[in-house]
Amino acid sequence: MLLWARLRSIFQTFLNLGGLFIIKGDVFMNVREPTSKFVKVRCPKCKNEQIIFGKASIEVKCLVCGKVIAEPTGGKTRIKSRILEVLE
Ligand SMILES: [Zn+2]
């Protein structure tokens, strides 16, 4: 089944990045292990799409509106925006 394969690959992407939490409509994702992957995210405020580094050591802000979309939390990176794609 094509659909099943697609769903499974999306789910695998979340697992690779350490899990997904949905809080009040926003998608929060914690990266358990430092990853050298780039992640394409969408700003929850202005919908700007931006590619960020999965292993952020500083706050990452939206280039358009300045909203913080990822922040470091003791070795993990919390991504506070929608993940559109993980770039290998
Ligand atoms: Zn923005």
Q: Can you point out the beta strands (E) in the chain? A: 20-23, 26-31, 38-42, 49-53, 60-61, 68-73, 76-79, 82-87
Q: What is the mean pLDDT of the chain?
A: 72
Query: What pLDDT band is residue 67 in, cutting at 50, 70 and 90?
Result: very high
Mean pLDDT of the 57-79 span: 84
Q: Would you give the DSSP letter of residue 49?
A: E
What's the CA-to-centroid distance between 49 and ligand 1, angstroms? 8
Ligand 1 center from residue 45 Cα (angstroms): 5
Residues in the 5 Å CB sphere of ion ligand 1: 43, 45-46, 48, 62, 64-65, 67
CATH number at residue 52: 2.20.25.100
Task: Residue 65: give the domain boundaries.
Answer: 2-87
Q: Which of 38, 31, 36 is nearest to 16 (CA)?
A: 31
Q: What is the pLDDT of residues 14-35, one digit of tens each?
A: 555 544 443 333 445 554 444 5
Residue 83 has pLDDT above 90, yes or no: no
Total domains present in the chain? 1
Closest CA to 53 of 30, 67, 34, 28: 34
The distance from CA 27 to its chain's CA centroid, rounded to whole angstroms, is 8
Share of the chain above pLDDT 70, in %: 61
What pTM did the predictor assign? 0.54
